[in-house]
Structure 1
């Protein structure tokens, strides 16, 4: 499913690009449907809530490989169905949310290029966020492969 991945770092920002062997609608539903998102993003079952509209809130409790639980909250800053999702993520002690943009571009009706971009405050934050986003995209790719086989 991951036919390409590119990483570009600019200051404290990063961009990940992948092409997935799934139609854009399927990628969008995986990213915006709580039950589907929980299955590929490593969230605790039943912990994901999404009000996918500009200003709508979201929350999820992520599970770490060592069994820890990491609650996340935020809001949707921009929503363009099947094209763009800009998510604000609440960060304790920070007045403004961290933002992550996900852009989808349909390729020949069967594949979707996904571009994920985030700007962070420090190099350490960028490195940790980029690692987390890479894991997210790995999970999304595996989920879409499993969906295609069922």
Structure 2
């Protein structure tokens, strides 16, 4: 597993790149199946709903390390199965959703490069989003490794 991080100095965007030890179809299923997503993404049991198609809605309730719960909602803007997903995330008090893009590039039978990109409105928002996305990728890597051992 390898990780690359880049943040442009003149805007509030970040890109995270990681190589996962799983085929793209497994990465896609982990990200787009409610039961699997809840297992690795820190969502409360039974809180994840996904209608994975352009214009489809999603929601989940994330559990924070201190036990608090944060409800999240949004929609799918672009969907190309096993390759590309663009997600709109509703921001409390925001007029526009935050948009995160996920790109999958299979690298042989058992490895997939995942790239997450997001542009934010401020450096603080970018830093928080990048930290959250890094934690998601860490959890996803651990989940996929455990699935592979089973």
Q: C-alpha displacement at 1:93, in angstroms?
A: 1.4
SS of the residue corresponding to residue 28 of structure 1 reads helix
SS of the residue corresponding to residue 103 of structure 2 reads strand
Q: C-alpha displacement at 1:42, in angstroms?
A: 0.3
Cα separation, 2, equivalents of 1:16 and 1:68: 27
Partner of 1:86: 86
Q: Which runs of 5+ in 2 are unaligned?
A: none
- Segments of 4+ in structure 1 off by > 6 A? none
Q: Provide the alpha-carbon RMSD of the alignment.
A: 0.5
Cα separation, 2, equivalents of 1:96 and 1:61: 20
Q: Which runs of 5+ in 1 are unaligned?
A: none
Partner of 2:126: 126
Count of equivalent residues: 148
TM-score, with structure 1 as normaliser: 0.98
Q: C-alpha displacement at 1:92, in angstroms?
A: 1.3
Q: Deviations over 1:94-116 (max 9, x none)?
A: 11100000000000121000000
1:97 and 2:103 matched: no
TM-score, with structure 2 as normaliser: 0.98
Partner of 1:6: 4
Cα separation, 1, equivalents of 2:43 and 2:51: 17
Q: C-alpha displacement at 1:44, in angstroms?
A: 0.3
